C-alpha cells in the first residue's frame, strides 16, 4: 500500500471526496420527468442540508484506483458533528493507518512505518485541486449537498431527464468553460451542480468544477439506506480528474450507526518519528 496516504484519507473521510471528465453524463431516467418549479427543488436541498446526525459510525469497503495504483482496503469512520472525524484504515485485516481530522488539521499515524505526520487541512488541495473545509468531509460522508448555503440563490438547469440545481446560472457556466483553456492565474468561482432523484426528494449526484485548477469532481450516490430516519449512503462512486491524476473510488458502507457516541482515539507513541 502506498506511503502517500492523503488520497486514501480524503476518500475515507470523504467516504471523499470526489467520474472522469472523459465520461459523458449518463441519462439514468429513460422517460422525461415532470417539470418542477425551482423553489420546490431548493426546498428539498434546504431540508437535506439541515438534517444531519450528531454522531456517525460506519465500516466502509473502499476500492481506490489512480494512474499509479489499484488497491482495496477497509475504513472504520467515527465522526462527531462539527468537531472531528477519526478513520482507522486496515489492509488485509491489519491496521495500517490511524487518522484524525479536525476543522483545521490532519494527523496521520502510519503503523507500518512507525511514524506520523501533521498538516493543515488545506494540504488536501495539493491532491484534489479543491480547498476542502471540514464540513465538506462530513457532507460527502453523509450524502449531503456539499458547500450548500441556504441563504445563497441557486439556479435550476432545465434538463428533461434530471432535476439540477446549480450555484451558477447556465450562461455563467458556459462563460467559464470558454475561458478555461486560457486561464492561468485568474481566480474563479467553484461551480457546483446538485442532481436530485426522480421524485425530487433526494440527492443522487454532485458535480464540483474548479476552472481555476482544471479540476472536476463527481460524487454519485448509487444507493442509500434509511437508518434512524436518516437517509445514509450505501454505495458511492467518486471520480476526480486533475491535471496530474485521474482517481476513481468505490465506497460500500457495510455497517452504520447513528447518534451512538463512540470515542475518537489517536495516540502517537513516543517511539514514532515524523514521516519523511
Q: Tell me whether residue 268 is in a domain.
A: no
User: How far, in Å, CA of 81 to CA of 105, rounded?
Assistant: 16
272 part of a folded domain: no
Residue-level pLDDT at 56: 96
Return the pLDDT at 126.
66
pLDDT tens-place values along the chain, 276 residues long: 444 444 444 544 443 433 333 334 444 446 889 999 999 999 999 999 988 999 999 999 999 998 888 989 999 999 999 999 999 999 888 989 999 999 888 999 999 999 999 988 877 766 665 667 888 889 999 999 999 998 899 999 999 999 999 999 887 877 766 555 455 444 467 899 999 999 999 999 999 998 887 889 999 999 999 999 999 999 999 998 888 888 999 999 998 999 999 889 899 999 999 998
Looking at the DSSP bridge assignments, the partners of residue 224 are 233
State the total domains in the chain: 1
**Rounded to whole angstroms, how far apart are CA atoms 112 and 114?**
6
Cβ atoms 57, 79 nearer than 8 A: yes
- pLDDT of 177: 64
DSSP state of 180: G
Q: Does a structural domain hold residue 203?
A: yes
199 within some domain: yes
pLDDT of residue 215: 86
Give the alpha-carbon dihedral of 255, 258, 259, 264, to 10 degrees.
40
Residue 146: the pLDDT is: 92
**Contact yes or no for 113/275 (Cβ under 8 A):** yes
- Residue 209 sits in which domain range? 6-22+30-260
- pLDDT attached to residue 13: 47
CA dihedral 200, 205, 210, 211 (to 10 degrees): -80
H-run or E-run covering 142: helix 134-142
Is 1 contained in some domain?
no
The answer to whether residues 209 and 241 touch, using CB atoms and an 8 Å cutoff, is: no
CA atoms 91, 92, 96, 98: torsion sign: positive
Main-chain phi, psi angles of 149, to 5 degrees = -130, 115
Q: Would you say 97 and 114 are in contact if contact means Cβ atoms under 8 Å apart?
A: no
The answer to whether position 275 is within a domain reads: no
- In CATH, what number is assigned to the domain containing residue 217? 2.50.20.10
Residue 94 lies in a domain: yes
Is 276 among the domain residues? no
Amino acid at each position: 500500500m502506498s506511503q502517500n496516504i492523503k488520497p486514501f484519507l480524503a476518500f475515507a473521510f470523504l467516504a471523499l471526496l470526489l467520474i472522469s471528465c472523459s465520461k459523458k453524463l449518463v441519462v439514468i431516467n429513460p422517460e422525461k420527468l415532470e417539470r418542477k418549479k425551482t423553489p420546490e427543488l431548493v426546498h428539498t436541498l434546504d431540508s437535506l442540508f439541515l438534517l444531519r446526525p450528531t454522531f456517525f459510525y460506519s465500516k466502509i469497503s473502499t476500492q481506490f484506483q489512480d494512474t499509479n495504483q489499484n488497491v482495496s482496503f477497509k475504513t472504520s469512520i467515527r465522526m462527531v458533528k462539527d468537531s472531528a472525524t477519526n478513520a482507522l484504515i486496515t489492509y488485509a485485516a491489519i491496521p495500517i493507518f490511524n487518522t484524525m481530522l479536525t476543522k483545521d488539521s490532519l494527523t496521520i499515524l502510519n503503523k507500518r512505518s512507525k511514524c506520523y505526520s501533521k498538516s493543515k487541512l488545506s494540504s488536501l488541495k495539493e491532491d484534489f485541486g479543491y480547498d476542502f473545509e471540514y464540513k465538506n468531509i462530513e457532507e460527502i460522508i453523509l450524502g449531503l449537498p456539499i458547500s450548500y448555503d441556504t441563504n445563497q440563490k441557486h439556479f435550476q438547469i432545465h434538463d428533461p431527464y434530471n432535476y439540477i440545481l446549480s450555484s451558477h446560472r447556465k450562461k455563467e457556466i458556459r462563460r467559464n468553460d470558454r475561458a478555461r483553456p486560457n486561464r492561468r492565474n485568474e481566480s474563479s468561482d467553484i461551480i457546483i451542480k446538485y442532481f436530485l432523484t426522480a421524485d425530487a426528494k433526494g440527492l443522487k449526484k454532485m458535480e464540483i468544477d474548479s476552472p481555476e485548477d482544471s479540476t472536476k469532481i463527481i460524487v454519485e450516490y448509487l444507493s442509500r439506506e434509511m437508518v434512524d430516519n436518516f437517509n445514509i449512503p450505501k454505495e458511492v462512486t467518486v471520480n476526480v480528474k486533475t491535471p496530474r491524476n485521474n482517481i476513481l473510488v468505490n465506497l460500500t458502507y457495510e455497517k452504520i450507526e447513528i447518534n451512538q457516541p463512540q470515542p475518537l482515539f489517536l495516540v502517537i507513541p513516543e517511539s514514532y518519528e515524523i514521516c519523511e
